[in-house]
Amino acid sequence: MGLLSNIFKKQPAQPVNYTPLNVQDAWVGIITAMGRVDGSLSDVEIDNLARSLVMSSIFDGHDIVDYINKAATFQNTNGSQQVIDDCVPHIPQHDRATLLCIVTEVVLADGQIDANEKELLIYLAGKLGIEPALFQQILEVYLIRNKYSKVIFD
């Protein structure tokens, strides 16, 4: 019985990590994970995500779609927190507040924040080392800015 129990014993899952290829991949990983916290990106979130990435010079010459697909695939099996945990170390300290602003804009594109989004946004701010007062200011600005955003359903 000892031999069979060893053969059929469930092996512990090997840890799987999201490995960003570069800083841009880490940014997109975090933004995608945050935007997809509910399992998908809404049209409004996609529009804001695309605009934020295309208009940012840090992404010039990078295939953003590949980064988004990579992050979404990994997130589907490992969750948003794992993507965040694996990507944050690749974000330079001087870019962290900017990244949090972009993420907040994507999450609050519809002018609302649900419990899961709020929880993960707080988690991200903590992982990025953003001071609570600055995080509060960022959140307030985007809640005011997107107060009357329209939610468009296809």
Q: Is residue 94 part of a domain?
A: yes
Q: 114 is in which domain, residue-wise?
A: 18-145
Residue 150 has pLDDT above 70, yes or no: no
From CA 55, how far away is CA 152, in angstroms rounded?
23
Amino acid at 54: V
In a domain, 116, yes or no: yes
Within a domain: residue 8? no
What pTM, to 2 d.p., does this model score?
Answer: 0.81
Q: What is the pLDDT of residues 86-104, one digit of tens each?
A: 999 999 999 999 999 999 9
Over the chain, what is the mean pLDDT? 84
DSSP code string of 6-32: HHHSPPPPPP-----SSHHHHHHHHHH
CB proximity list for 28: less than 8 A, separation 6 or greater: 53, 59, 64, 67, 68, 71
Domain count, the chain: 1
| Of 24 and 7, the one with more pLDDT | 24
Assess if residue 34 is contained within a domain. yes
12 within some domain: no
Residue 32 is assigned to a structural domain of this protein = yes
The domain that holds 110 is classified in CATH as 1.10.3680
Q: Does 152 fall in a domain?
A: no
